[in-house]
Every structure is written in C-alpha cells, then in structure tokens.
Amino acid sequence: MKKTTAETPETYSLIYKSAAKAVGYVDPNEPYPSSVFVPNVIPVIVYEKPQVINMTKASKELYADLNLFEILSVEELEGTFGEMKWAIWKRNMDDLMGDVDNQEDNVCFEERVIVKRLKRTADQRHFKKFLEEALAFFNAERHKNLAQVAAIASYKHFSDAEQRVEFPLICYLHDGFGNLKKFLISCRNGQKNAQFKNPNGNGIQTLRAHELVSMALQILKAVIHLHHFGIIHKDIATRNCLVSKVRDHDNLFVQICDSALSKDFFPDDYHCLGDNENRPMKWMAHESLVHNSFNSSTDVWSFGVVLWELLTCGQQPYPDIDPDEMAIVLERGKRLSQPYSCPDELYGLMYCCWQLDYRDRPTTQQLLIALQEFNLQLLQYI
C-alpha cells in the first residue's frame, strides 16, 4: 500500500479534471472530445425528511418469539454495551405465508441471521437509542442492498419494559461473512477465513479491483434508495455494511445497514466534538463537522471515504490527524492520498466526492453512472 498521508488538491489536479468530466462537470470554456462520457443528469440535493417511526406498528410487524432462535457461540463483534452474534431462526412456513388455519401441516425451515443485542450492563437509555438507530430504515421499502431489521425477537413484547426478561435481539437476514470492515481487514492481513471460494471451483481467490468496485456500486445503490425516501444515512462506512457470498452476478453481495451499536463496536472510528455525541469525524463532510449539516451531498462525501476504505482493505482514514483538527485540515485542502494500485480514474472519483463546496460534488446518480462505466472497462480485461 502507498503511504496514506493526506495530499493537497494541486497534486491531483489533472486526475480531478479528468474525473470531473466523467461525472458531468465540464468547463464550458474548454473544448473536450466528443468521446468524453458526460451523463445527462441535473444535480439535485436531497434533504432529510423527518422520519417518525411508529414503534407500536414496528413492534407488531417485526415481533418474533425468541424461543425460535438458536444463538450460536461464534462472536462477530463485541463492545462494552452490546454484541453481534450469529443465530439460526427456526421459522414457520405457514405463519410466513399468513396461513394460521392449518397448524398441523406447518412446515418449519431454518434461516441464518446475524443479530445485535445489548448486554445486561446496558440501561433503558441505551435501549431507547439502540432501537431508534436500528429502525432508522423502517419507513423505507425493501431493497436487496439494504439490510433492514427482519425481526425483533423477545420472550415478551419488546416495548414492555416491566415484563422484559432481557433485551431483545435485533435480527438481520444474513448468510455470509458478516461485517464488511472486519472482512476487509482480514483480507489485508491474509487470513484464510477472509477469502472466499472461487465460483468456478478453482480454490481460493482474493479481492480484485472489479470486485471492490462492484461492492461500492451495491452500497451506492442502497444509498440512492434511502435518499428516494428522504433518508440521509449520515454514517456510510464499511463498518456499517454486511458482506455475503456470491449472489446473482456479483462475486460478493453487500448490504448497507443501520449504525446501531457501531459506536460501541468501533470506538476508534468515533470521536466527540464536545457535545457528548460521538461522531464518525473522519468520514464526515466539512459542513457536517462545522455546522452539523447533512444532506445527500454529505453522504456522497462519506461514500468517497468508503471507496478509499475498499481500495485499502479497511485502513483507517487520516490515522495521523487529531479528530479535533479535521475541519481545519479539510479547509486547508488536505485529502486522503491515492491507495496503492488504485487506478487514477477511480481515485479521481473519490476526490470529486471531497470538494469543500457541497454543490461541486457529484450526485449519487452521477457517481453511479461513472462507476458503472468504470467497472465495465475493468471487466473487459478479465
């Protein structure tokens, strides 16, 4: 890997200029070849719509009997107040189809899930925050690249604090490798369990450029879906993604999920600005750091950091910069440097996401088109 120190915009002015054309930002005073790809997309900034989560509705729709879950001993992630574990959900086919008249003929099947739950050391305040973050996408329609809560499993109604024996399980349908950041770090460290079987049966293979770009595209599609419902994620990062085995035409299948318990699982990724609220400061846009402002363009900034995470296999952004200095550092023009073996065009797309003025950043749709075109070029060399 290249040394991941920050660079100034001047260092990559030509790269940025090329990438700017790729996402539709072209200087009208400068002639350019007709072959330059310029998508016909009008830049639109999406602002957050207030999301009111009906907890009563959510509890009825998502409730599942905890007796139907077998918690496996494998620990995926653990923090001070919470943990993520694997489980088997023994579901009833007739209940799933809404048929409750023929209980004797019920057919059960097992489904693999990954679950988040609070430890007994947590309190009601932790539970309230945990539930709010876990249900952040409840009002959005389902999307294949969005890991939404599939069930809230408890022995009693989970909102009944007096009768609750223990904190409920927040369950996500998942049969794969688990947390994406953990997976990438394992790949970088060369651990065998981080590699996956070649679909052609030719043994073990590691991550390649087109697979990394494919993962980025899947994350971006989920972000676009959230924006359609007026939901700004605010914490797009590999730590908030799940990665699975081969699905459809993608060698790796990725879903972005909520940020519930992420601060507990990845404390080094979050820092306090002085208001007792920990934030992912090294993934945040300048205006988010300074004004606590969030919209689709701040998600674009974070997505640029996700691209960098993917290409570095989970390295920490700005490792030598104090979190309290991030706003000043960004104002001075410092940005993440180009990862080792990262194509210039791809780094240029990242750099476009980190423009100080949010109006100068590409939209999610422009990024999608540019990344799809870039991925097609990569596939031609396979």
Same domain assignment for residues 115 and 142: yes
Amino acid at 273: L
Last residue of a domain, one of 148, 175, 202: 175
Same domain assignment for residues 190 and 308: yes
Domain membership of residue 45 as a residue range: 9-49+178-379
CATH code where residue 154 lies: 3.30.200.20
pLDDT one-digit tens code per residue, 132-154? 999 999 999 999 999 999 999 99
Instruction: Inform me whether the pLDDT recorded for 204 exceeds 90.
Output: no
Same domain assignment for residues 184 and 169: no
CATH code where residue 373 lies: 1.10.510.10
Instruction: Inform me whether the pLDDT recorded for 2 exceeds 50.
Output: no
Query: What pLDDT, on the 0 to 100 scale, is given for residue 189?
Result: 86
pTM (two decimals): 0.85
Query: What pLDDT, on the 0 to 100 scale, is given for residue 152?
Result: 96
Same domain assignment for residues 163 and 280: no
Same domain assignment for residues 198 and 138: no
Same domain assignment for residues 207 and 72: no
Same domain assignment for residues 38 and 160: no
| H or E element that contains 5 | none
CB distance 251 to 382 below 8 Å: no
Active site residues: 235
Same domain assignment for residues 98 and 25: no
Last residue of a domain, one of 132, 152, 175: 175
Domain presence at residue 165: yes
Same domain assignment for residues 255 and 171: no
Distance of CA 345 to the CA centre of its chain: 23
The total domain count for the chain is 2
Domain presence at residue 318: yes
Domain presence at residue 269: yes
Same domain assignment for residues 359 and 224: yes
Domain presence at residue 4: no
Q: Which residue has the tokens 């905890």?
A: 66
Query: What pLDDT, on the 0 to 100 scale, is given for residue 273?
Result: 78
Same domain assignment for residues 29 and 115: no
DSSP SS3 for 170:
strand
Same domain assignment for residues 205 and 141: no
The values of phi and psi at residue 326, to 5°, are: -60, -45
Query: What pLDDT, on the 0 to 100 scale, is given for residue 299?
Result: 98
Last residue of a domain, one of 175, 197, 221: 175
Domain presence at residue 2: no
Least confident window among 103-117, 196-210, 348-362? 196-210
Domain presence at residue 268: yes
Report in angstroms the alpha-carbon separations of 342 from 1, 2, 65, 208, 318. 10, 10, 47, 11, 17
